[in-house]
Structure 1
Amino acid sequence: MPLKLDVKRKLLARSDRVKCVDLHPTEPWMLASLYNDGTVRIWHANTYRLESTLNYGLERVWTICSLQGSNNMALGYDEGSIIIKLGREEPAMSMDNSGKIIWAKHSEIQQANLKAMADTEIKDGERLPLQVKDMGSCEIYPQTISHNPNGRFVVVCGDGEYIIYTAMALRNKSFGSAQEFVWALDSSEYAVRENGSTVKIFKNFKERKAFKPEFGAEGIFGGFMLGVRSVSGLAFYDWESLELVRRIDIQPKHVYWSENGELVSIATEDSFYILKYDQDAVTKAHEAKEGVTEDGIEEAFDVLGEVQESVKTGLWVGDCFIYTNSVNRLNYYVGGEIVTIAHLDRTMYVLGYISKESRLFLGDKELNVVSYSLLLSVLEYQTAVMRRDFETADKVLPTIPKEQRTRVAHFLEKQGFKAQALAVSTDPEHRFELCLQLGDTKTAHQLAVEAQSEQKWKQLAELALAHGDFALAQECLHNAMDFAGLLLLATSASNADMISKLATSAEAVGKNNVAFLAKFLLGDAEKAFEVLLATKRYPEAAFFAKCYVPSQTSRAVKLWKEELAKVSEKSAQALADPEDYENLFPGLQESIKTEEFLKQQHLAGRKPATEFPNIVPHQDRNPVEEMKTAEMAGTFVYTVHAAGEACPAQPTMCPGKLPQGSTSAKEDEEDQSGQNEEYVDLDQLEQELEQDIENLALDENVDYKLQEDLLSDD
């Protein structure tokens, strides 16, 4: 039996051939492709009105396909394929201040009441098990739903029309044609945009005034002032007089006003701006008839901040702007600081905030509702601080839980109230940083004692030095085991006893550089020399001994040669030992005697600091001449040391001759060959030694670099 179909509606287009048709499974869209002209027509499935005609110039359209649960549609052409998005991603949902949520599921209006969940345990981010109530169907297909500020009425807008219902029973209160609908801060006032040039203002459901903005009207925004978007930017108008308050060169997507009308957030494609409205400046400008230009009053707004984030939806709670961004984060902005509340797993839209429960509610396009805890006491405290109402802030502070105090302290710090932040914060790390910034050494010392952190002791030592508290600085450097810092402190204070103790302590823990320098600063060259030997820094020890402890030069050279022989025997032989080549070390005996002379002066004790002006600077002294003068005066007698204590004293050398009874290695060889001479020319000997060194065949691959551990601390 043939199937008989009734024609309900005939959709006409300028073509006699339709290639394919597709009806979206969930949205009221019907698409048809026309074979001849390569266009795609979109009709509204309920009103049968032609909504749009698409032509991408890719020749003929062969297929159209929709994706369930999404607004995406795929179009297949001869020359390629395209994916388009129809309608709005944001669901038609709205919540009033009491927790009643109204949404549209297709053309059906449904309601849920959060008060019914008073006894239910709510966890952050979990879907709420709401009891949904059907309120009836709407005569138009809802694209947006919004409550007025007091929650008594709700408006449904779509298909170029709007209908105002009572929120409780969904009774029709008013209707009309509109492309957009916005509420004023006054619950009885609203505006509609009929087309691209006309905006109408209504009060108590009666038209009060209609006007045509100078540059047209591509979009309107409600709130404390009426916002109109046009090709020239965003213009704010006074609701009562419709006078231009300020025109801003910006193309916004959303405009959000705070409850008191002092703050406004203007969101664009990739950023949002926080502005402060100056009512007094606007009033004075109107009264004085000054400062009013074709773009309005320049001083009407002050820019408080700019954030490079794309806002999806948002609302104000006090002076805190809560919003969701393009990367699915739930944040709030207050006083220049951005605080992340949660990371969302999908795109969510802010519905509202219930202060009694201190919870923020969000919905998704599947009409699921979730919530997150956001303490009202924290928001109230931050709002009071922003308004410089510290009396109110002090009253609110005790109601803030301890786990939230550190977050509040970071906010206070960013606002410049570091002392208050220190009093509020419960995080030891944060408190210590604040103490350093405030110069509070007492509190910082208590925190450092509790933490026993080397880094904290060093930071506190720097602070103590900056404040001239040397006793505290010494304690901190000692606890931090900062021997270099202690040495700096001790030398700056000329504290010889402290330097002596530091030398012993540093040597015990292997801080050899500090130990060497401390002993050297004390004038104890022999002990400083022993530190070099103990760390096997034989080259440094040899050169140090040559300058400061000449009696130990031969000992250091012997050790150096032994160590170097392990790497290269020939290189070790190139080193001249003063015992073997005394002629290469002229004045060595005088240096040894001078060493003994200076040592006796050192043992005589240190002079008081008051004698400093009378002391001859080192660069002006000649120790050898001083020794000779003292020796001639009989105040100094050179004593020959025992063999184990120092190098034995040698007889004074005659110029140009080696000492009697002492021969060099080369002369020993000559004695063995029967060529012994009583007199050796000094210049000739030096030339022979240089020639011997030049004739040494040193391997190029020999590693002459001394052991690295000799050049650094253990």
Structure 2
Amino acid sequence: NSFCTLLESVFATMASKKQQVTKLLKAESERVKMVELHPKEPLVICALYSGQVTLWNYESQTLLKSFDICDLPVRCVKFITRLQSFVCGSDDMQVRVYNYNTMERTATFEAHLDYIRCIAVHDTLPIILTSSDDMTIRMFDWTKNWACTMTFEGHSHYVMAVTFNPKDPSTFATASLDETIMVWNISTPVRNFMLEGHEGGVNCVEYYPGGDKPYLISGSDDNTVRVWDYQTKACIQTLPSHNHYVTCVAFHPDLPLVFTGSEDETINTFSTQTWRSEMTSSYDMGRAWCISVKPKCNKVALAFDRGLLVLNVGKDDPVMSMDANGKIFFAQTNEIVRLDVKNSVDKDVADGELIQLPAKEVGSCEGIPKKILHGPNGQYVAVLMDDDEYIVNSALGWRSKCFGHAIAFVWGNDPGTFAILENAYTLKTFKQFKLKETVKLDGAADLLFGGPLLGARIDGNVCFFDWDSLRIVRQISETADEVVWSDSGELAALVTASGTFVLKYNPEAVAEAFASGAEADEDGLECAFDLVEEIEVKMRRAMWVGDCLLYVNKSERVCYYIGGETTSLAVIQRGFSLLGYVAKENRLYCMDKERSVIAYQLHTSVIDFKTAVVREDLDAARGLLSKIPEGMRQ
């Protein structure tokens, strides 16, 4: 539909080719005035003009609960996750608090003398702020039976929005129809300062979530969006955003993008690096009233006259890479940091326990990294950016080795060997960082896969090439999202949307066929691969440890597969992705977007023993049994 078309185009700023945009939920309803995404669970809550609050699970696309609040519009709703509750404000001047699990109403009180427009919940203190058409902002403390502990006065018209500063939560900003933005401190009822410049009422205000820019952004009835430096108190940009009142603004939590919504029924997206408009579109759901984003996540919720949309834009996996020794590179926006599990993780740490590793900033990129890849021996690291540029740096000093343009990049098995897709039809290989071969492809390619053979996804098929000659070895009619090879190069796993194919590679047969000049059919050499097994599991990420295939399934369960047998290892926390395995530590590591790490013990002796049993090498299995820790021999 037109909305997905919009976001596919909008997020062309992340890459020149189409990004993955998934509609998680579309719920048609009465006018939705405010939405908020739960910070941890797959929940979204909506305040409806008809007087209800609805709670949805956007993963299962189900309406979980509906609360009849009052007969008047509910204009604002926010989660209070510490209380497993939500708080809402309505046109009867009442604030109500409900436990969203039990549906019990735990508090009701008159908060203002006129309509309540907005609510902000403090991250750590037991307080909320409410703003109203009575021109005040009020602070309430739930540990004091929801007593009003302070009233902030200074605006001369309706106060439309209130938001805490994420970098300094003792301060907050408000937006008013008196055409001003005011910044306050929760310790005093007198404002810190005022920002003037809009030529119409100000409907919305938000803080920039990153730590590198002291920015506020506001939207107004003058149809513009303004960007403010709240340290210098200067307006640094005025964006001619819409043809009608601007009702909502939101920064993307990770990408250099800002969204704006309006009564002109459009959503605009701007780059925060250039402040240029990236896309404008409308899409048949009426006026836009609210945009909610989820920290460290790609979820976006939008409220309209005719309902709610929740989308996942791009991939939620963090941009990271770990080598075999546990050295990690991690991208935070355009900054690259280095972490190391060696000597940083207590040997007695429990499985699944959160580990915070010390991080060191090593450099920054001009673009936003979308992939980081360690080379085969860990000496070099490649970073592929959203603008389809790549750079290869030394892992030790982060010094540039080479760079160029590519829509895809993979390493070969030899140091200094890699391949790129310069565009959808041009494949190039490099040896010792120098161009070796160039081939024009017969179809459009969008992904490359490294390993003993060079893989490319071309017109939905996986094509394997010989690294040296770029001769086709085999074409497989499956649309793989990932191809991972075992360290021995004997096994390959083709991960597709519906399942995974485990293949055995026959390099001797391929070499013999090439040497004899045997004719290959259009699908290449049939002798190149044997199908070992089809695993009917949707894998989020997969990797090999020896001949053991580790993966995370859609239920967030970490499993490993050896010779037809699948064993469950653990259920990981939501938001974590497989990072890698360090054999010296006998641990599998996972990481999230906040750089938190969790680890799970998986002894190589267990893997080697099970592999020997599968291969019916009983002598080797008996020899390995003594190396398995006592508690793991059952």
Q: TM-score range by the shorter chain?
A: 0.5 to 0.7
Instruction: Give the equivalent residue in structure 2 for 1:96.
Output: 323
8 Å CA contact 1:286, 1:292 repeated in 2: no
Matched, 1:58 2:58: no
What are the superposed Cα offsets for residues 233-275 of structure 1, whole Å, 9 maximum, x if unpaired?
1111111111111111111111111112110011111211111
What are the superposed Cα offsets for residues 67-104 of structure 1, whole Å, 9 maximum, x if unpaired?
33432222334443312223320001111111111212
Matching of residues 218-297 of structure 1 within 5 Å: 218-290=446-518, 292-297=520-525
Q: 1:82 to 1:139 in 2, by over 3 A?
A: same
Output the amino acid matched with 2:582: I
Displacement, 1:310? 1.3
Instruction: Give the equivalent residue in structure 1 for 2:560.
Output: 332
Higher RCO structure (Cα 8 Å, ≥6 apart):
2
Output the amino acid matched with 2:596: N
8 Å CA contact 1:328, 1:347 repeated in 2: no
The DSSP-based 3-state class of the residue aligned with 1:379 is helix
1:74 to 301, 312, 318: 301
Matched, 1:107 2:334: yes
Q: 1:8 to 1:209 in 2, by over 3 A?
A: farther
Instruction: Give the equivalent residue in structure 2 for 1:464.
Output: none
What are the superposed Cα offsets for residues 32-88 of structure 1, whole Å, 9 maximum, x if unpaired?
34766x553434323556666665443554543323343222233444331222332
Displacement, 1:114? 1.6
Output the CA distance in 2 between the equivalents of 1:7 and 1:195: 40
Q: If you compute each CA radius of gyration, which structure gives the higher value, 1 or 2? A: 1
Matching of residues 494-643 of structure 1 within 5 Å: none
Instruction: Give the equivalent residue in structure 1 for 2:551.
Output: 323
Instruction: Give the equivalent residue in structure 2 for 1:688.
Output: none
Output the CA distance in 2 between the equivalents of 1:50 and 1:297: 50
Instruction: Give the equivalent residue in structure 1 for 2:314.
Output: 87
2:571 to 325, 333, 343: 343
The DSSP-based 3-state class of the residue aligned with 2:544 is strand
Q: 1:57 to 1:384 in 2, by over 3 A?
A: same
Output the CA distance in 2 between the equivalents of 1:231 and 1:49: 34
Displacement, 1:26? 4.0
1:31 to 244, 259, 278: 259
Output the CA distance in 1 between the equivalents of 2:254 and 2:551: 28
Q: 1:151 to 1:34 in 2, by over 3 A?
A: same
Q: 1:84 to 1:129 in 2, by over 3 A?
A: closer
What are the superposed Cα offsets for residues 268-321 of structure 1, whole Å, 9 maximum, x if unpaired?
112111111111222232233335101111121111111121111121111111
Displacement, 1:125? 0.8
Output the amino acid matched with 2:396: M
Q: 1:29 to 1:8 in 2, by over 3 A?
A: same
Instruction: Give the equivalent residue in structure 2 for 1:155.
Output: 382
Instruction: Give the equivalent residue in structure 2 for 1:214.
Output: 442
What are the superposed Cα offsets for residues 542-574 of structure 1, whole Å, 9 maximum, x if unpaired?
xxxxxxxxxxxxxxxxxxxxxxxxxxxxxxxxx
Matching of residues 83-482 of structure 1 within 5 Å: 83-117=310-344, 120-160=347-387, 161-290=389-518, 292-387=520-615, 389-406=617-634
8 Å CA contact 2:356, 2:595 repeated in 1: no
Unaligned runs of 5+ in 1: 407-714
8 Å CA contact 1:324, 1:348 repeated in 2: no
Output the amino acid matched with 2:488: N
Unaligned runs of 5+ in 2: 1-193, 198-227, 229-233
Displacement, 1:374? 0.6
Output the CA distance in 1 between the equivalents of 2:408 and 2:244: 36
Displacement, 1:11? 6.7
Q: 1:400 to 1:67 in 2, by over 3 A?
A: closer
Output the CA distance in 1 between the equivalents of 2:540 and 2:479: 15
The DSSP-based 3-state class of the residue aligned with 2:423 is coil
Matched, 1:42 2:269: yes
Q: 1:287 to 1:208 in 2, by over 3 A?
A: closer
Output the CA distance in 2 between the equivalents of 1:281 and 1:241: 17
Matching of residues 672-711 of structure 1 within 5 Å: none
Output the amino acid matched with 1:136: G
Output the CA distance in 2 between the equivalents of 1:321 and 1:392: 20
8 Å CA contact 2:255, 2:368 repeated in 1: no
Instruction: Give the equivalent residue in structure 2 for 1:513.
Output: none
Of residues 149-158 and 80-89 in structure 1, the stretch that sits farther from structure 2 once superposed is 80-89
Output the amino acid matched with 1:218: D
Displacement, 1:390? 4.6
Output the CA distance in 1 between the equivalents of 2:390 and 2:621: 44
Q: 1:133 to 1:82 in 2, by over 3 A?
A: same
8 Å CA contact 2:254, 2:332 repeated in 1: no
Q: 1:41 to 1:213 in 2, by over 3 A?
A: farther
**TM-score by structure 2 length?**
0.59
Displacement, 1:388? 5.2
8 Å CA contact 2:262, 2:289 repeated in 1: no
Displacement, 1:137? 2.6
Q: RMSD of aligned C-alpha atoms?
A: 2.7
Q: 1:52 to 1:120 in 2, by over 3 A?
A: farther
Displacement, 1:402? 4.0
What are the superposed Cα offsets for residues 8-39 of structure 1, whole Å, 9 maximum, x if unpaired?
678788x7557454322443222234766x55
Output the amino acid matched with 2:504: K
8 Å CA contact 1:215, 1:232 repeated in 2: no
Output the amino acid matched with 1:216: A
Instruction: Give the equivalent residue in structure 2 for 1:564.
Output: none
Displacement, 1:130? 1.8
The DSSP-based 3-state class of the residue aligned with 1:299 is helix
Which structure carries more strand by proportion? Answer: 2
Q: 1:247 to 1:50 in 2, by over 3 A?
A: farther
Q: 1:202 to 1:267 in 2, by over 3 A?
A: same
Displacement, 1:345? 3.1
